[in-house]
Structure 1
Amino acid sequence: MTENPVTQDQVQPRPIVARLPKYAAGKPPVQIDGLTAYKLSSNENPFGPLPQVHQAVIDQSALNRYPDSLSTKLREALAGYLDVPAEDIVTGAGSLGALVQILNTFAGQNEDGVQDEVIFAWRSFEAYPILVQTAGALPVQIPLLEDGRHDLEAMIEAINENTSVILLCTPNNPTGPILTQEEVDDFIARVPRNVLIVLDEAYIEFVRDERSVNGVETYKANPNVILLRTFSKAHGLANLRVGYSVAHPEITDNLRIMATPFAVSTVAQDAAVASLAHMDEVLARVDSLVAERERVVVALAEQGWKIPATQANFVWLPLGEKTADFVERAEQRALSVRGFAGEGVRVSIGEVEANDRFIALCSESLDLAQG
């Protein structure tokens, strides 16, 4: 049966909608009798928020009131934690919402009809091409190096007079490697000062490599650098949607004009403030996940797997055309993993039992491993 042809009297979306790639959220695990099901497909924190954060949510009594649109309490808490001015911080609905604000402010179609260009590594965070095109800009995807790292030289070569924003994801999602301070400093020195450089550090708390770029110090030293962070990962607040960007006032003043009003609820703000007040406990939980990550990485290396050097809360299996086979095998073991068709599989670090089962699955799946 053929679909009804489109007629002139039907409401139609913008043409770009049909061309946008679809964002694929991590699927829940398949329930298997006799096995505890685990979701390892969304880079979620298996521990959830701290008890003090739960209490901050329970104590909410003004749900009939709009939140503070500037998230003043949260920005002041972050200013103290990061040692930056509060006016340099703009909150958003997760780092995704904060990125929407950045792109809507600095990338799009200009009055002369020419599109701005936004450069980013690929594969990287799958929302990048969606958000760039939604803003009206042109995505410029630069393939990763074979080791899953950004090809910074190729990104430099892609810059032209239409380039308005460059997105750097460190650690890179979904492959895991970081960008070092040395290579970022060199990169920034070669980028025109009128191009905005976004350092997406959604997984920064999981980084243990001392060579890693220091986003806070980098933004302080460069007026065209903006830092992007979230409470979804290390803090376990993915459901509350709270993130933020950090940049100099000439950037943040414009971001606030474009920011979605009341994007961060009072519930989310108070939960984030409570989590920041107990950062030592948050980081202790992160340490346990990092230890699990290293245990998984060592086990896979001993089995013979060759994977990128991850500093995030996930590992990447470069399975290419065998990706779907691995995803299916995981489903049969009550594990959900995030497959990227024809490229590879990203597996979040979860509970110890989940990680044990994943390690066993990898041992049984060496026939799928490439090179």
Structure 2
Amino acid sequence: MSTTSLTSAPSTTAPTPRTVLAGIPAYVPKPPAPPAEGPSHRLFLNENPYPPLPSVREAIARAATQTNHYPTIHPERLLDALARRLDVPPGHLVTGPGSVGIYQQIGQAMLEPGDEVLYAWPSFEAYPIVARMAGAVPVEVPLVDGVHDLDAMAAAITPRTRAVFLCEPNNPTGTAVGRAGLERFLDRVPGDVLVVLDEAYFEFYRSPNAPDGVELHHDRPNLLTLRTFSKAYGLAGLRVGYGVAQPAIAEALRKCAVPCGVGRVAEEAALTALHVETELFERVERIVAERERTRESLLALGWEVLPSETNFLWLPTGEASESVARDWERRGLLVRAFAHSGLRVTVGSAEANDLLIAAAKETAPPAR
């Protein structure tokens, strides 16, 4: 009987990743910046400038003592709390490690190779990645003056369209279409096309015309609304997002969720944050006030700044975007430059915003 030698030469071949990955950029929000003299301010990731409240930190510390145990498959206590908070049945809810985690579930549960995924551009950078990872075809509709062109988006829907991603308010421009425009658009979307309404900045939206995707989903079986604990609740480092949809969609997404994807520490922090919302939202009001103060100051200095309904500002600086970003980095302001397009600047602490205004005063605004 023949035997195979255990000392045969190693194979010269190796597993080959999917070919689609070659065309997908790595999700890198910003490369490390050179150290600046004095303090640096992280104004490129739309983070909340305030640390967790003491009660949230205490909940995190308690939960950390139990990290030798697995969390539940789904964060059942958080799901129950969200159901009560939002007045929706628990079966309408899905969670994930940030809303980005739920986008991955959407790709697995709702998209087939060759399907079209429609979204405005520029918008949330995960959209083309999610589409291509699922083998779907991204269809990008340009913004008009930084705002979703809903008429053009509706016209771009074809029989191959299976999902529409709509960021309201939009990242990176901070602009919003409002409830009336959104509802008119939703009325034009075929019922078999999933509409993902990304409300990551819902708590910063101050217009009286602001839509509420949770409310809208009750009468729209093709609507999935996403929200997050990363921004207003200040838990970006713990990764907790959730979605609200009719049961058929929510169940499909739960089937594709990573088991225990929201860990015990994250769940306890989110539960406590919900309990102290009043105190947290006082901070949100301060961020909104700083947003408006900073924007008015920049406008007075001759900079173009779009109206924002988020916790960041968009400066359409065009070809000068990267050079302005480099100049401000040397001053300790780490902002996000979109090449040939604009700057996205997170609303930071009052100190950071004052430094931004001082830097803008010393830098000539790009010619329009």
Distance 2:198 2:276 in 1: 24
1:71 and 2:75 matched: yes
1:93 and 2:70 matched: no
1:155 matched residue in structure 2? 153
Equivalent residue letter for 1:46: P
Deviation at 1:272? 0.2
1:329 and 2:327 matched: yes
Unmatched tracts of structure 2, length 5 or more: 1-10
Deviation at 1:328? 0.8
> Among residues 24, 29, 40, which one is paired with 2:28 in the alignment?
24
2:115 matched residue in structure 1? 116
Distance 1:143 1:21 in 2: 20
Distance 2:141 2:246 in 1: 27
Deviation at 1:287? 0.5
Unmatched tracts of structure 1, length 5 or more: 1-6, 110-114
Equivalent residue letter for 1:78: L
Deviation at 1:261? 1.0
1:103 and 2:128 matched: no
> Per the alignment, in what secondary structure is the counterpart of residue 199 of structure 1?
strand
TM-score, normalising length: structure 1: 0.93
Distance 1:164 1:350 in 2: 38
1:187 matched residue in structure 2? 185
Equivalent residue letter for 2:124: F
In structure 2, the CA distance between the partners of 1:27 and 1:293, relative to structure 1 (3 Å rule), is farther
Deviation at 1:12? 2.1
Distance 1:187 1:9 in 2: 51
Two-structure CA RMSD over aligned residues (Å): 1.4
| More displaced stretch, 260-269 vs 13-22 | 13-22
> Among residues 54, 57, 65, which one is paired with 1:54 in the alignment?
57
1:10 and 2:14 matched: yes
Equivalent residue letter for 1:21: P
**C-alpha contact (below 8 Å) 1:30/1:334 kept by paired residues:** no
1:245 matched residue in structure 2? 243
Residues 118-267 of structure 1: pairs in structure 2 closer than 5 A: 118-146=117-145, 148-267=146-265
**C-alpha contact (below 8 Å) 2:74/2:261 kept by paired residues:** no
Distance 1:29 1:330 in 2: 11
Equivalent residue letter for 1:17: L
> CA offsets, 1:142-173, max 9 Å, x none?
11012x11011111111011101001101100
TM-score, normalising length: structure 2: 0.94
**C-alpha contact (below 8 Å) 2:75/2:262 kept by paired residues:** yes
Distance 2:303 2:29 in 1: 26
Deviation at 1:178? 1.4
Identity of aligned residues (%): 44
Equivalent residue letter for 2:92: D
Equivalent residue letter for 1:282: L
Deviation at 1:29? 5.2
Equivalent residue letter for 1:24: V
**C-alpha contact (below 8 Å) 1:99/1:228 kept by paired residues:** no
> Per the alignment, in what secondary structure is the counterpart of residue 280 of structure 1?
helix
| More displaced stretch, 52-61 vs 269-278 | 52-61
> CA offsets, 1:40-97, max 9 Å, x none?
0110111021111111111023212211112110011111111111111101000100
> CA offsets, 1:244-278, max 9 Å, x none?
11001011111111111111001101110000000
Distance 2:66 2:125 in 1: 36
2:7 matched residue in structure 1? none
**C-alpha contact (below 8 Å) 1:29/1:334 kept by paired residues:** no
1:80 and 2:84 matched: yes
> Per the alignment, in what secondary structure is the counterpart of residue 166 of structure 2?
strand
2:6 matched residue in structure 1? none
**C-alpha contact (below 8 Å) 1:177/1:309 kept by paired residues:** yes
Kindly tell me the number of residue pairs found equivalent between the two proteins.
357
Distance 1:28 1:39 in 2: 11
**C-alpha contact (below 8 Å) 1:27/1:39 kept by paired residues:** no
> Per the alignment, in what secondary structure is the counterpart of residue 261 of structure 1?
coil
Deviation at 1:301? 1.5
Distance 2:111 2:318 in 1: 33
